[in-house]
Amino acid sequence: MHKPWTPLSVVWETTLHCNMHCMHCGSSAGTKRTNELSTQEGLHLCNDLADMGTRLVALMGGEPFLREDWDTLARHIKDRGMEVTILSNGYLIDDALVRKLRPLEPYAVTISIDGGTHETHDAIRGTTESFQHCLDSLEYLTNAGIPTTVVTTVQHSNLRELPLLRDRLLGRGIAWQIQMAVPMGRFPRSEMLSPEEFYSVALFIASLKKTFSQQELPVMGAHNFGYCSQVLPNIMLYPWFGCQAGLTSLGVHSDGAVNGCMSLPAAFTEGNIRSRPLKELWQDPTAFSYNRGEFKDAVSGSCVGCRKSKRCRGGCLTVSYALTGAYHGDPYCLRRLEQQLHLNEK
């Protein structure tokens, strides 16, 4: 009998409609899908998640604030006893929107900022004045006492602006999550970090974590910044125990398609909540086989033979699949890079 997995953390792409055109968008967001879940279907989804034991629902897009019923959905999530986080590009956040947000007591409102200057951020986001909107949204949110996070997706063209962004965030009580752009959707492989650049960013995060207290600068590397380094301390917030797609995490697309993680491509879709109840999809013994079934321990590439592979299970599945076409063999692994770059030798 298999372990009864619970989708503790769910990311729901409420719409693919977006008012930006980001270079690194893995969903190629922009135009709304023709068959997105209605408000009633969305409320039903929230009920199912609450019944299945979900604790946190993250509303993302596209741009989630472009959905007129965003507050209805967020309120229902809270009313069903779950936490709600909203991932936004910040463009629409103003005083009026914050007045609607505040009573919802979100677990976090997360704003994407991808550069330390207007020029870089706006170029990556494909929208003029978006940087200024982001800075303004941080002001609105923090002034209202809403837990605020900045997510920075690092690529070749914004790598060197991380120190500028650090200076903007320091001492403001804003959490900072740094993640790597992966060649999916619109993102060109040519803009991806090189292994050396990737290690430089890891070094940067480690340095920040050692230099500043968590009150001064609460910073962490996301799920594609690790793992098991022999030189650096843990740069994520907590220890890495392997990809959680289909184990404790779940992604729901705006048309009702379900997969273990929103970052995973369509090949990993398990079904659609319009044609099969979510609980049935989740509990299907053949579902999420890459993490639950026959492939769960099958590390690939250079992870084969690594003594950390049982716990790490090959790092981020999305990075592994996007770069190698195989499961559980993320080549952007700190431990591996330290071997390649001979950094683990004194």
Query: Which of positions 271-300 make contact with other proteins (CB under 8 A)?
Result: none
Mode of pairing for the β-strands spanning 257-259 and 271-272: antiparallel
Q: Pick the closer one to other proteins by CB: 83 or 96.
A: 83
* Coil/strand/helix, residue 275: coil
Number of residues in contact with other proteins, rule: CB under 8 A?
74
Stretch 11-40 residues interacting with other proteins (CB under 8 A) = 11
Residues in the chain: 346
Q: How far is the CB of 303 from other proteins (least distance, A)?
A: 9
Strands 148-154 and 175-180: parallel
In this complex, which beta carbon is closest to other proteins, that of residue 15 or of residue 110? 110
Per CB under 8 A, contacts with other proteins among 181-240 are 196-197, 199-201, 203-204, 206-207, 209-211, 214, 218, 220, 222-223, 229, 231-234, 236-240
DSSP symbol at 29: -
Query: How near is the Cβ of 332 to other proteins at its closest, in Å?
Result: 13
- CA proximity to 28, closest of 37, 16, 19, 36: 16
Instruction: Give min distance, CB of 19 to other proteins, in A.
Output: 19
Tell me if 36 sits within 8 A of 254, measured CB to CB: yes
Nearer CB in complex with other proteins: 20/317: 317
Beta carbon of residue 242, minimum distance to other proteins (angstroms, whole number) = 8
Q: CA-CA distance, 260 to 149, in Å (whole number)?
A: 23
Burial of 156 (0-12, 13-18, 19+ CB in 10 A): middle
In the complex, minimum distance from the CB of residue 243 to other proteins, in angstroms, rounded to a whole number:
9
Residue 180: closest CA among 145, 226, 136, 148? 226
Q: In angstroms, rounded to a whole number, what is the distance separating the alpha carbons of residues 253 and 271?
A: 11
Residues numbered 117 to 176 that lie near other proteins (CB under 8 A) are: 147-149, 151, 159-160, 162-163, 173-175
Nearer Cβ to other proteins, position 110 or 130? 110
Q: Least Å distance between CB 34 and other proteins?
A: 27
- What is the C-alpha separation between 206 and 190, in angstroms, rounded? 26
Q: Closest separation between CB of residue 128 and other proteins, Å?
A: 25
Q: Is 51 within 8 Å of 279 (Cβ atoms)?
A: yes
Among 155, 158, 244, 259, binds other proteins (CB under 8 A): 244
Residues in 64-123 at the binding interface with other proteins, rule: CB under 8 A: 82-83, 85, 87, 107-108, 110
